[in-house]
Structure 1
Amino acid sequence: MRLLKISLLFILILSLNSCFDDRDDNAIAASEINDFVWKGMNAVYLYKDEIPDLANDRFTSNEDYGNYLNDFSDPLDLFESVIFQRETVDRFSVIRDDYIAFEQLLAGTSKSNGLEFNLYLEPGSDTEVFGIIRLVLNNSIASNLGLQRGQVFDAVNSTPLNVNNLNELLGQDSYTLNFGTYNDNGTDTVEDDTITSTTNSQALTKETYTENPVHQTTIIDVDGENVGYLVYNGFNRNFDNQLNEAFSELQASNVQHLVLDLRYNPGGSVLTASYLGSMITGQFTGDVYSKLVYNSGLQELNSNFDFVSSFNGNTINSLNLNKVYVLTTSRSASASELVINSLSAYIDVVQIGDFTTGKTQASITIYDSPDFSSSEINPNHTYAMQPLVANSINVNDVAVPGTGLAPNITLIESPRNFGTLGDINEPLLAAAIADIQGLGRFSQQRIDFRVIQTDLNIKPLEEGMYIDTDDVILNRLNLK
Structure 2
Amino acid sequence: MKRVYYILNLIVFLFVAQFLGCKKDPPSYPVGSNAYVNNWILDSLRRYYLWNESLPKKVNKDQDPQLFFKSLLHANDRFSYMVNPEDPGSFPKSNRNQFGFDYSTVSSADGKLVFGVVKYVYSDSPASRNGLKRGDYISKINGQQLTAANAVVLQNELLIGDKGQLTLAALENNSLKDIRTVDLNMGMLVEQPILRETFHLNAKTIAYLYINDFSRGIAQSAMSDFTVFKNENVDALIVDLRYNPGGQVAEAAGIAGLISGLPFDTPFIIYTGNKNGGRKTESIGQSASGDRTLQYQQVLETGLKLKEVYILTSATTASAAEILINNLKPYVNVITVGETTRGKDQASFVIKDMRPSKTISWEMHPIIYKLSNALGAGDYAAGIVPQYHANEFESLPLKALPSLDDPLIQHAIGLIGGSKSLDKRGASKQSSVSSLRILTDSKREQTNQNILHINN
Query: 3-state DSSP class of the match of 1:209?
Result: coil
Query: 3-state DSSP class of the match of 1:208?
Result: coil
Aligned residue number for residue 223 of structure 2: 244
The CA deviation string for residues 243-295 of structure 1, in whole angstroms up to 9 with x for no partner, is 22222222222212100000000000001111000000114442012121221
In the alignment, the residues of structure 2 paired with residue 28 and residue 199 of structure 1 have an alpha-carbon distance, to the nearest angstrom, of 54
Whether 1:298 and 2:277 are equivalent positions in the alignment is yes
In the alignment, the residues of structure 2 paired with residue 26 and residue 159 of structure 1 have an alpha-carbon distance, to the nearest angstrom, of 49
The one-letter code sitting in structure 2 at the alignment partner of 1:177 is: L
Q: 1:293 to 1:437 in 2, by over 3 A?
A: same
1:71 CA drift (Å): 6.0
Whether 1:116 and 2:98 are equivalent positions in the alignment is no
Query: Which residue, 407, 415, 427 being the options, matches 2:407?
Result: 427
1:104 CA drift (Å): 9.4
Q: Structure 2: 5+ residue runs without aligned partners?
A: 1-23, 421-428
In the alignment, the residues of structure 2 paired with residue 23 and residue 302 of structure 1 have an alpha-carbon distance, to the nearest angstrom, of 35
Query: 3-state DSSP class of the match of 1:244?
Result: helix
Q: 1:408 to 1:304 in 2, by over 3 A?
A: same
The CA deviation string for residues 308-366 of structure 1, in whole angstroms up to 9 with x for no partner, is 79863471220111000000000000111111001111111110000001111111221
Q: Structure 1: 5+ residue runs without aligned partners?
A: 1-19, 59-67, 186-193, 469-473, 475-480
In the alignment, the residues of structure 2 paired with residue 406 and residue 114 of structure 1 have an alpha-carbon distance, to the nearest angstrom, of 29
Query: Which residue, 318, 330, 349 being the options, matches 1:333?
Result: 318
Aligned residue number for residue 187 of structure 2: 207
Aligned ranges 1:272-287 → 2 under 5 Å: 272-287=251-266
Query: Which residue, 84, 94, 104 being the options, matches 2:81?
Result: 94
Whether 1:34 and 2:49 are equivalent positions in the alignment is no
In the alignment, the residues of structure 2 paired with residue 275 and residue 456 of structure 1 have an alpha-carbon distance, to the nearest angstrom, of 24
Q: 1:414 to 1:109 in 2, by over 3 A?
A: closer
Verify the 8 A CA contact 1:280 1:319 in the aligned structure 2: yes
Query: 3-state DSSP class of the match of 1:250?
Result: helix
Moved more, 235-244 or 219-228: 235-244
Verify the 8 A CA contact 1:30 1:69 in the aligned structure 2: no
Whether 1:312 and 2:300 are equivalent positions in the alignment is no
Whether 1:74 and 2:69 are equivalent positions in the alignment is no
Q: 1:77 to 1:424 in 2, by over 3 A?
A: same
Q: 1:21 to 1:338 in 2, by over 3 A?
A: farther
1:145 CA drift (Å): 4.1
In the alignment, the residues of structure 2 paired with residue 95 and residue 293 of structure 1 have an alpha-carbon distance, to the nearest angstrom, of 22
Q: 1:73 to 1:241 in 2, by over 3 A?
A: same
Query: Which residue, 165, 175, 178 being the options, matches 2:167?
Result: 178
In the alignment, the residues of structure 2 paired with residue 453 and residue 225 of structure 1 have an alpha-carbon distance, to the nearest angstrom, of 38
In the alignment, the residues of structure 2 paired with residue 103 and residue 366 of structure 1 have an alpha-carbon distance, to the nearest angstrom, of 16
Query: 3-state DSSP class of the match of 1:276?
Result: helix
Aligned residue number for residue 358 of structure 2: 377
Higher helix share: 2
In the alignment, the residues of structure 1 paired with residue 100 and residue 71 of structure 2 have an alpha-carbon distance, to the nearest angstrom, of 37
Verify the 8 A CA contact 1:182 1:415 in the aligned structure 2: no
The CA deviation string for residues 373-430 of structure 1, in whole angstroms up to 9 with x for no partner, is xx64325xx4322111011110001114111111111012216523332111210000
Give me the CA root mean square deviation.
3.5
The CA deviation string for residues 98-149 of structure 1, in whole angstroms up to 9 with x for no partner, is 477599999x9974432111122465448x8421110111222333444321
Aligned residue number for residue 439 of structure 2: 452
1:36 CA drift (Å): 1.9
1:230 CA drift (Å): 0.7
**TM, length-normalised to structure 1:** 0.76
In the alignment, the residues of structure 2 paired with residue 349 and residue 21 of structure 1 have an alpha-carbon distance, to the nearest angstrom, of 57
1:224 CA drift (Å): 2.0
Q: 1:105 to 1:466 in 2, by over 3 A?
A: farther
The one-letter code sitting in structure 1 at the alignment partner of 2:404 is: I
Q: 1:320 to 1:376 in 2, by over 3 A?
A: farther
Q: 1:177 to 1:390 in 2, by over 3 A?
A: same
**TM, length-normalised to structure 2:** 0.79
Query: Which residue, 106, 110, 120 being the options, matches 1:135?
Result: 120
1:69 CA drift (Å): 4.0
Q: 1:23 to 1:426 in 2, by over 3 A?
A: farther
In the alignment, the residues of structure 2 paired with residue 83 and residue 131 of structure 1 have an alpha-carbon distance, to the nearest angstrom, of 34
Verify the 8 A CA contact 1:419 1:427 in the aligned structure 2: no
Query: 3-state DSSP class of the match of 1:41?
Result: helix
In the alignment, the residues of structure 1 paired with residue 91 and residue 236 of structure 2 have an alpha-carbon distance, to the nearest angstrom, of 36
Q: 1:231 to 1:455 in 2, by over 3 A?
A: closer
Aligned length: 410
1:90 CA drift (Å): 1.5
Aligned residue number for residue 367 of structure 1: 352
Query: 3-state DSSP class of the match of 2:415?
Result: helix
Query: 3-state DSSP class of the match of 2:230?
Result: helix
Identity across the alignment (%): 24
Verify the 8 A CA contact 2:104 2:441 in the aligned structure 1: no
